[in-house]
């Protein structure tokens, strides 16, 4: 429903307008009334009506000055104005044409004339909404495409002016590239809705007028740009801003979130460097496990290693699983994750280490003529790197896989020992009697 504000110093005219037509029939509803232009101006600012029906001659502030004030003071989408006028007011009405008044209706107001005006205006407002929506979608696509091309270095300086950037005010300004990683759970929104939810949450936090484009880099990883004006020059204020952003995203999305901030760069043409450093920062999430916000400048001097775990850890874990010792296996897993941090291992090596453990355990299960596919956690643990996984969740899932494997190994050995016993009894019987 489109909101309507009635403005007239005579109460009986306002009350008459309320009952004169079926407003809902044409998609309108009366949101409030005002008895003079000054009161109406305050209501327009607070309620943002779509249509204002106003008399011209009123005390305090007349209708014409009301329209002038609204037009000159607002950069937002203005309401449509319909002026109620008498024959003697026509010269004032002519002045209102300059301010985009939609229509004039002579007093006393004719029901058919008002209904015809509302019907035409309703169609016009709907068409404007469709056009605005179409323009917004077009700008969104262009902005996202421009950002993707900027971070890949495929948008040269001569092409920059062809793209409508809503997220920068100065091509030579200073900017950060941020990666927001959302650890969606299995009951979260459908995949195609998740990016929209992230974009809406960021728009809510940063303000609807910012128009920050959000691009999906990988499953659960979203990229955006913020200017130094948003984040402040002071490092302490910068940290407070990002921490606040993190808290609000967690609350609005209902899922754990990590934010990786790339290096500050000067000029939007240098965003590729900021993007690449933000990607580099993601590698440190297993190293800096106590923080959900990681800045490039805080980790850039920490070297990551391609060092493997001690072979004794692999063999010990396999032995504990074979002996069905859950406590011993858990102790080894805890030590492994300590080593991941202590040795500053890159994510690729962590993945390889976990895969090596899985292969060793699967080998034990197959030796007992079992199948790894009967393990409920098998698919999740073997594909953990294909979707966002916080370090603590990875450890929990790996332990769950270990415990399930131990239980299956115990059941398989129990079954096989029973078969061996029955086979041995049969062999003894045949040897004795035949």
202 with 287, same domain: the answer is yes
Tens of pLDDT along 321-349? Answer: 999 999 999 999 999 999 998 899 988 89
- Quick one: pLDDT at residue 274? 94
180 with 228, same domain: the answer is yes
- Quick one: pLDDT at residue 175? 86
Collapsing DSSP to helix, strand or coil, 384 comes out as: helix
- Quick one: pLDDT at residue 432? 44
Token digits of residue 334: 């805890």
Backbone angles phi, psi at 260, to 5 degrees: -120, 125
Among 299, 326, 342, the domain-final residue is 299
> How long is the chain?
434
170 with 266, same domain: the answer is yes
* Structural domain containing residue 81: 2-109
**C-alpha distances in angstroms, 376 versus 232, 403, 408?**
48, 11, 11
286 with 318, same domain: the answer is no
Is residue 71 one of the residues assigned to a domain?
A: yes
Tens of pLDDT along 264-283? Answer: 898 878 889 999 999 999 98
Is residue 433 one of the residues assigned to a domain?
A: no
Q: What is the distance between the alpha carbons of residues 44 and 67, in angstroms, rounded to a whole number?
A: 11
* Angle, helices 11-20/111-152, rounded to nearest 10 degrees: 80
- Please report, for the domain that includes residue 218, its CATH number: 3.30.70.270
- The residues of the chain scoring below 50 in pLDDT are 421-434
Collect all residues with Cβ–Cβ distance below 8 Å to 237 and sequence separation of at least 6.
Answer: 231
Q: What is the distance between the alpha carbons of residues 253 and 247, in angstroms, rounded to a whole number?
A: 10
> What is the DSSP secondary-structure string of 73-93?
H--SPPPEEEEEE-GGGHHHH
**Percentage with pLDDT > 70 across the chain:** 83
* Count of structural domains within the chain: 3
- Do 33 and 44 form a contact (C-beta atoms < 8 A)? no
287 with 169, same domain: the answer is yes
Q: Pairing between strand 80-85 and 265-266? A: unpaired
């Amino acid at each position: 429903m489109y909101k309507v504000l009635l403005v007239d110093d005579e109460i009986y005219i306002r009350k008459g307008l309320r009952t004169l037509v079926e407003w809902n029939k044409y998609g309108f509803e009366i949101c409030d009334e005002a008895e003079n232009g000054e009161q109406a101006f305050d209501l327009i600012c607070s309620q943002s009506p779509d249509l204002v029906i106003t008399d011209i001659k009123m005390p305090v502030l007349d209708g014409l000055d009301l329209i002038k004030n609204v037009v000159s003071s607002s950069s937002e989408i203005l309401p449509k104005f319909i002026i109620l006028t008498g024959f003697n007011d026509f010269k004032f009405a002519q002045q209102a044409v300059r301010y985009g008044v939609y229509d004039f209706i002579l007093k006393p107001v004719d029901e058919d004339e008002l209904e015809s005006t509302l019907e035409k205006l309703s169609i016009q407002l709907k068409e404007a909404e469709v056009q605005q929506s179409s323009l917004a979608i077009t700008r969104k696509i262009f902005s996202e495409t421009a950002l993707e091309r900027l971070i890949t270095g495929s948008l040269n300086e001569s092409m920059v002016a062809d793209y409508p950037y809503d997220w920068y005010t100065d091509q030579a300004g200073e900017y950060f590239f941020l990666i927001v990683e959302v650890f969606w759970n299995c009951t979260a929104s459908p995949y195609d809705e998740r990016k929209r939810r992230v974009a809406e949450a960021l728009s809510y936090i940063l303000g609807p007028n910012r128009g920050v484009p959000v691009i999906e880099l990988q499953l659960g990883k979203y990229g955006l740009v913020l200017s130094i004006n948003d984040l402040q020059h002071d490092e302490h204020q910068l940290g407070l801003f990002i921490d606040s952003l993190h808290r609000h995203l967690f609350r609005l999305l209902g899922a754990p979130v990590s934010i990786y901030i790339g290096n500050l760069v000067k000029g939007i043409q240098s965003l590729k460097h900021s993007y690449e450093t933000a990607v580099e920062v993601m590698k440190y999430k297993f190293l800096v496990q106590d923080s959900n916000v990681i800045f490039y400048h805080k980790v850039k001097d920490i070297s990551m290693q391609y060092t493997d775990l001690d072979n004794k850890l692999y063999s010990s874990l396999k032995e504990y699983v074979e002996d069905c010792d859950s406590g011993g296996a858990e102790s080894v897993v805890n030590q492994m994750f300590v080593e991941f941090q202590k040795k500053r291992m890159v994510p690729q090596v962590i993945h390889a280490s976990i895969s090596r453990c899985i292969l060793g355990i699967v080998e034990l299960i197959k030796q007992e003529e079992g199948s790894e596919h009967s393990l409920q956690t098998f698919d999740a643990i073997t594909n953990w790197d294909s979707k966002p996984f916080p370090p603590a969740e990875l450890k929990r899932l790996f332990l769950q896989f270990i415990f399930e494997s131990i239980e299956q190994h115990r059941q398989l050995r129990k079954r096989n020992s029973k078969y061996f016993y029955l086979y041995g009894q049969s062999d003894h019987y045949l040897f004795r009697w035949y």
